[in-house]
């Protein structure tokens, strides 16, 4: 039996969703062209902020600063700079925070960073460095009045021994002065809902914003996911199976998968989303449209 359409609950699209978009600093002129094209296409959606990542071990320090400063100057949108503390002394990290402050950047995404061998390897603190993201947040707070975001993990951080340690660590970062957490990519919304429950039970009240990764290339995203400890459910792999040489169907499946994920979150009452753009705009523009967010 079907429910008459006037009795079905209507999706609350059009309500004031808070969107943010994550980019990475481009390496080449061609990549930089695509970066700016995407920034300019997404800016009219008036995101709460856009963020620019910090290459492994600080390898993009100057580029991250340049991109963030330029985004703000060219679009007027608030831009957040990521920073990590792995492999750097406290003085070096503080210098970067001061450089952000001097450039007028007032949002930071504060991360510990991965060891050179990847997130699966044990983290070795720089002899004179910050030990964790929580310590980094404390340091940022001392330097300026920044809006700080930190990382959360719906499937637990690969180095975390259990959920108690994981939630305690997240709480420590928020208590140190972060305003919100942004999650690692995830593809099973139940993992995210479970994280929200665990966080609430652990006394966390700050928002935990879902990090949504549209699948521009299943091959590429599977490899990213494996590196950061996010799992690809079998049903998801099945949907993209055999589409490597069929870009049109791949793109249609990708938009259907992302729409399904985001709209299920909307139905559960989620109103804040952080989209991992990989410097592309098309899928994010489509998802924003589904949420009723139009360029203006």
Catalytic residues: 22
User: Can you tell me the distance from the alpha carbon of 174 to that of 199, in angstroms, rounded to the nearest whole number?
Assistant: 11
Q: Which of residues 217-256 bind ligand FAD (CB under 6 A)?
A: none
Question: CB of residue 219 vs ligand FAD: minimum separation in angstroms?
Answer: 21
Q: Of all helices (H) and strands (E), which one includes residue 110? A: strand 107-111
- Residue 38 main-chain phi, psi, to 5 deg: -70, -45
Residue 176 or 250: the one with the smaller Cβ distance to ligand FAD is 176
Smallest gap from residue 164 Cβ to ligand FAD (A): 10
Residue 84 Cβ vs ligand FAD, minimum distance, rounded to whole Å: 5
How many CB atoms within 10 Å of residue 235? 10
Q: Among 17, 35, 49, 54, which residue sits at the site for ligand FAD (rule: CB under 6 A)?
A: 54
d(CA 213, CA 278) in angstroms, rounded, equals: 9
Sequence-separated (6 or more) residues with CB below 8 Å from residue 282: none
Question: Which residue, 182 or 266, has its beta carbon nearer to ligand FAD?
Answer: 182
- Two structure tokens written together for 80: 């957040």
CB of 36 or CB of 54, closer to ligand FAD: 54
Cα(153)–Cα(168) distance, integer angstroms: 13
Q: Strand 49-52 to strand 79-84: parallel, antiparallel, or no bridges (unpaired)?
A: parallel
Which residue's CB atom is positioned nearest to ligand FAD?
160
Contact 124, 133 (CB under 8 A): no
Among 78, 155, 166, 191, binds ligand FAD (CB under 6 A): 166
207 near ligand FAD (CB under 6 A) = no
Looking at the Cβ atoms of 23 and 240, the one nearer to ligand FAD is: 23
Q: Is residue 155 a contact partner of residue 186, using CB atoms and an 8 Å limit?
A: yes
Instruction: State which of positions 106-165 bind ligand FAD (CB under 6 A).
Output: 109, 111-114, 119, 132-133, 151, 157, 159-160, 165
Of the candidate residues 38, 169, 261, 277, the single one contacting ligand FAD (CB under 6 A): 169
Instruction: Give how far Cα 100 sits from Cα of 35, 49, 106, 163, 224, Å.
Output: 21, 15, 7, 34, 28
Tell the smallest beta-carbon distance from residue 269 to ligand FAD (Å): 21
Give residues with Cβ within 8 angstroms of 209, minimum separation 6: 20, 149, 180, 181, 182, 183, 272, 273, 274
Which DSSP state fits 3?
Answer: P
Tokens of 65: 């600063």
- Residue 245: CB minimum distance to ligand FAD, A: 32
Pick 35 or 250: Cβ nearer ligand FAD: 35
Residue ranges in 173-202 that form contacts with ligand FAD under rule CB under 6 A: 173, 182, 184
Binding positions for ligand FAD, 10-29, rule CB under 6 A? none
Q: Which of 208, 211, 240, 281 binds ligand FAD (CB under 6 A)?
A: 211
Near ligand FAD in 62-101, by CB under 6 A: 82, 84
Contact (CB, 8 A) for 241 and 218? no
Chain residues binding ligand FAD by CB under 6 A are 53-54, 56, 82, 84, 109, 111-114, 119, 132-133, 151, 157, 159-160, 165-166, 169, 173, 182, 184, 211
């Amino acid at each position: 039996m079907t429910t008459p359409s006037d009795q079905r609950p209507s999706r609350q699209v059009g309500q004031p969703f808070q969107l943010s978009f994550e980019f990475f600093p481009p390496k080449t002129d061609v990549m930089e062209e695509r970066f700016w094209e995407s920034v300019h296409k997404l800016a009219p959606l008036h995101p709460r902020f856009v963020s620019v990542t910090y290459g492994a071990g600080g390898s993009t320090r100057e580029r991250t600063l340049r991109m963030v400063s330029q985004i703000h100057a060219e679009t007027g949108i608030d831009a957040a700079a990521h920073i990590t503390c792995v492999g750097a002394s406290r003085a070096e990290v503080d210098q970067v925070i001061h450089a952000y402050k001097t450039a007028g950047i007032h949002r930071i995404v504060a991360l510990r960073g991965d060891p050179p061998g990847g997130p699966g390897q044990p983290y070795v603190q720089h002899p004179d460095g910050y030990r964790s993201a929580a310590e980094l947040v404390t340091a940022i707070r001392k330097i300026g009045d920044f809006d700080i975001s930190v990382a959360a993990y719906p499937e637990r951080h690969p180095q975390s021994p259990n959920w108690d340690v994981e939630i305690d660590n997240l709480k420590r970062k928020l208590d140190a002065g972060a305003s919100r957490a942004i999650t690692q990519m995830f593809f099973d919304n139940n993992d995210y809902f479970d994280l929200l429950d665990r966080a609430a039970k652990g006394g966390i009240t700050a928002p935990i914003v879902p990090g949504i990764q549209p699948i521009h290339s299943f091959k590429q995203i599977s490899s990213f996911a494996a590196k950061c400890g996010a799992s690809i459910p079998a049903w998801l792999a099945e949907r993209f199976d055999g589409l490597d040489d069929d870009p049109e169907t791949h793109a249609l499946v990708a938009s259907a998968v992302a729409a399904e994920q985001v709209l299920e979150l909307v139905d559960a009452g989620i109103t804040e989303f952080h989209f991992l753009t990989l410097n592309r705009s098309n899928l994010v523009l489509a998802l924003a449209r589904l949420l009723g967010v139009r360029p203006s």
